[in-house]
Amino acid sequence: MRENIDWPPPACTPTGNLARNLGMCPDWDSNLRPLGAWVDAQPLSHSAGQHLLLDNLLMAAILEEERLNKLRIESQGSPETLISLKKGYLFMYNLVQFLGFSWMFVNMTVRFFILGKESFYDTFHTMADMMYFCQMLAVVETINAAIGVTKSPVIPSVLQLFGRNFILFIIFGTMEEMQNKAVVFFVFYIWSTIEIFRYPFYMLSCIDMDWKVLTWLRYTVWIPLYPLGCLAEAVSVIQSIPVFNETGRFSFTLPYPVKIKVRFSFFLQVYLIILFLGLYINFRHLYKQRRRRYGQRKKKTH
């Protein structure tokens, strides 16, 4: 009996496995391969390979830039962290200065009530160490203004620092004859009175607090105290002139052929002019600050 052979052979019978039904092809392994594998298996042209390489290089450069920016931010610190460190640093500086001047103010006040006028003549020996410390630390305040850590103007800060340190280290510090005079008490007391209101005001500003009474005192107390302090400093300079003339300290003779002896008292007389000029500059600066603080409020009330 002759068998019937169909040619061409019939297509494969569909099954329940859809992967095997794709094209009805008997290549079962190829049909089971994921669709994306066909793309990977195809060879890339030369131009397509270049584009893929450029994309990979660009992505690597972007990731490296992000990594470097992250490291740079971590090393420098976030802006909020830097602001917090700045406020903490200024708060501690003002706190230390406030404690130092407060100690001197309270000490001199108590000694005056107990000893009376007798406390005037040994003020330097009891307060000099603390005053030296506070005035040397005040150099930091001028540096902060110079480099922009604070918004204080540089010239008034330099004038006040130079003026006080000249009186403290030159007039009082180098001349023992001046250390027992009553003018030392008034100079130290006025300086301390000014600072026990100024530094707490700056402390509260660092933590965004505004105590109205303290603010008013900070912008008002200087009106009588700065002229009084300038007057006390001028008296100390005038009293020191004959002492420097007698001792000849810091005097010198110009070389040949001039051979003129220049007394240090000449520079003290020049300093008196600079002293009152500095008072005018600081007074004008503080007046502008007070006017900015309270001038606009007065205009609104009218």
Whole-angstrom distance, CA of residue 69 vs CA of residue 67: 5
Burial (CB count <10 Å: 0-12, 13-18, 19+), residue 268: buried
Q: Angle CA(28)–CA(31)–CA(32) in degrees, nearest 5?
A: 85
Handedness of CA 46, 47, 52, 58 (dihedral sign): positive
Phi, psi of 95 (to 5 degrees): -65, -45
Cα→Cα distances 49→36, 39, 52, 53, 169, Å: 18, 14, 5, 6, 79
Long-range contacts of 288-291 (CB under 8 A, 24+ apart): 289/219, 290/219, 290/220
Q: How far is CA 25 from the centre of its chain?
A: 79
Cα distance between residue 99 and residue 11, in whole Å? 101
Amino acid at 73: I
Q: Which positions are annotated as active-site residues?
A: 226, 233
- Quick check: helix, strand or coil at residue 179? helix
Q: Which two tokens stand for residue 211?
A: 């105590």
Residue 118: C-alpha distances to residues 115, 170, 258, 298 (Å): 6, 24, 48, 46
Tokens describing residue 199: 């530094």
